[in-house]
Copies of this chain bind each other. A is one copy, B any other.
Amino acid sequence: MNRLPLEGKVLKENDRIAAGLREQFVSHGILCLNLISSPGSGKTSLLERTLENFRPGEKVAVLTGDIQTENDALRLSRYGFPVKQITTGGTCHLDARMIKRALEDWRVEELDYLFIENVGNLVCPASYDLGEAAKVVVLSVAEGEDKPLKYPSIFFKSELLVLNKIDLLPYVPFDVEEAAGNARRVHPGMEIIRVSCLTGHGVHEWAKWIERRRRLVGAPEAAPA
């Protein structure tokens, strides 16, 4: 986004609303994750695999953001959990106000997990706190191992890197160790999980990470910076 004088005000207002959301999530023990990536890195496929792993009746819901179309909500609603599309109509990121509005007619306090799929954009969503417990950045191996250096903000701000589409590794010039090194140059100690939504590789590890992360919700050491 542009460095406009107005930007500070917009972000301050966003942070105020996000803080309210975070308080709500924490007080009810809800793990809210904000998934961010380029277009086509596989956020929706990852969420499909994620929802498959939950048992019917588990208290999980998804908000999915796009500039246009309700395609992702259609894909994700097949798993029997509440899913709502947020269509931004041109805006390149989700903001806290959109999340608040989308949650208005849900009984949020009854949830255990809330997944937010951001608009496909590796830049702007990094600036907008949505009240999440953690940001998760998804990077497809088709995108190249230099991305953490080129888009450092989102890699710095995300707790976890999901390295997706690893089934493509034999066919693309992508060096996993270099990618991991680049991610950890920007974000020392960053956790990385390798996933293929096609083969299912790593999906269990991702599910375990989610479980572990939920136990930290509200714990003092997990407070957002």
Q: Which positions in A face B, CB cutoff 8 Å?
A: 1-6, 10, 38-41, 66-69, 71, 90-92, 95, 119-124, 140, 142-144, 146-147, 149-153, 165, 167-168, 171-173, 198
Contact = CB atoms under 8 A, between A and B. Distances in A.
A118 to B, nearest CB: 12
Contacts of A140: 40, 142
13 contacts: A1-B2, A1-B91, A1-B124, A2-B91, A4-B4, A40-B140, A40-B144, A67-B153, A68-B149, A69-B150, A92-B121, A120-B150, A173-B198
B150 A90 contact: no
B38 A120 contact: yes
Contacts of A142: 40, 140, 142-143, 165, 168, 172
B1 A67 contact: no
A85 B99 CA distance: 37
Interface of chain A, main secondary structure = loop
Contact of A124 (B124, B144, B168): B124
A122 B68 CA distance: 13
A66 B142 CA distance: 18
A200 to B, nearest CB: 15
Q: Which of A3, A5, A90 has the most CB of B within 10 A?
A: A90
A101 B167 CA distance: 43
Contacts of A67: 123, 150-153
Contacts of A153: 67, 90
A152 B68 contact: yes
B92 A123 contact: yes
B149 A71 contact: yes
A198 B144 CA distance: 13
Nearest to A145: B40
Contacts of A147: 39-40
